[in-house]
Amino acid sequence: MTNKQQHIMVVGATSAMAEHCARLWAAQSPQRLTLVGRDAQRLQRVAEDLKVRSPKSHIEVIAMDLLNAQAIETTVSRVVMQQPLDVALIAHGVLSDQTACQNDVRQVDASLQVNAVSPVLWAEACVQHMVAAQHGTVAVIGSVAGDRGRQSNYVYGAAKGLVARYMQGMQHRLAGSPVKAVLIKPGPTATPMTAALTAQGQKMASVEQVAQDIVSGVARGHAVIYTPGIWRWVMLVVMHIPRWVFDRVRI
């Protein structure tokens, strides 16, 4: 490893979106990649694939509970001791079953923990060290679903809305600082998480396109990345539909 290698930590590294981002970073130049996730075997498969693509990259895997606040803090501290972070991509989450959540508050709790609480804890833990180093970018994957609550997915949307508001506040805190906080808002994307929606005929963006938008947007330090870009304008319209009209639409 040389000192020119970026240190990029990917949390939720086995997700399709995160894995494709890691591939793009590795293709740019040799990197130090720290891959964090829950499934050790899947993490190892991702690491082996990246090593084939970029033999000079240094790749570490960390399998752990992504929801434990103490473990998050301890893990981030250990990771940055090896080399300060240039980029942290927080990419884990699950697509909630809205009907199941409506019928079981434990499902609501589980969705909010994995889709909202855990991502912002990771972001805060990373930013603490980045502020001390006066360097780095933390990027969190939210969703266009967080822009306005809808009857079909409001539990998932509310979780992503919390992430959006948290990142907005973090950006305000870091304004004028060399540390960047980036919020990523993908539209529906063709990944294993959305396979059921794809089977229903819903149009999806390719994960390759979304990953490219994320990597290029993070490099530019964009505050908010809508991907594909058309979703910025779609959601602008959705957010400004009057309530009396919106309530008549079943989406």
Q: Domain of residue 156: give its range.
A: 7-246
pLDDT of residue 224: 98
Does residue 54 lie within any of the structural domains? yes
pTM of model > 0.85: yes
Does residue 169 lie within any of the structural domains? yes
Does residue 2 lie within any of the structural domains? no
CA 188 centroid distance within chain: 14
Region 156-184: what's the mean pLDDT? 97
Contact assessment for residue 137 and residue 180, using Cβ atoms and an 8 Å cutoff? yes
Instruction: List, for residues 134-158, the tens digit of each pLDDT value.
Output: 999 999 999 999 999 999 999 999 9
Rounded Cα gap, residues 178 and 191, in angstroms: 33
Query: Alpha helices of the chain — where are they, by DSSP H?
Result: 16-28, 40-53, 69-82, 98-103, 105-112, 118-133, 154-174, 195-199, 207-220, 230-239, 243-246
% pLDDT > 70, the chain: 95
Region 18-30: what's the mean pLDDT? 97
Residue found under tokens 């690491």:
47
Sheet holding 58-63, edge to edge: 58-63, 32-37, 7-11, 87-90, 137-141, 180-186, 224-227
pLDDT of residue 2: 44
Instruction: List, for residues 86-110, the tens digit of each pLDDT value.
Output: 999 999 999 999 999 999 999 999 9
CATH number at residue 28: 3.40.50.720
Q: Is the pLDDT of residue 201 over 70?
A: no
**Which amino acid makes up residue 208?**
E
Residue found under tokens 């304004």:
175
- The secondary structure element, H or E, covering residue 89 is strand 87-90
Exposure letters 35-47 (e unless 16+ CB within 10 A, then b):
bbbeeeebbeebb
Q: Is the pLDDT of residue 3 over 90?
A: no
What is the rounded average pLDDT for all residues in the chain?
94
- The residues, ordered by sequence, that sit 6+ positions from 72 with a Cβ below 8 Å of its Cβ are 66, 118, 121, 122, 125
The number of residues making up the chain comes to 251
Does residue 1 lie within any of the structural domains? no
Distances in Å between the alpha carbon of 166 and those of 63, 193, 205, 244?
A: 26, 24, 26, 29
Rounded Cα gap, residues 177 and 135, in angstroms: 9
pLDDT of residue 204: 78
Does residue 251 lie within any of the structural domains? no
pLDDT of residue 198: 66
Q: Is the pLDDT of residue 191 over 90?
A: no
Residues 30/2/179/168 CA torsion (nearest 10 deg)? 30
Domain count, the chain: 1
First to last CA, the chain: 50
CA 100 centroid distance within chain: 24
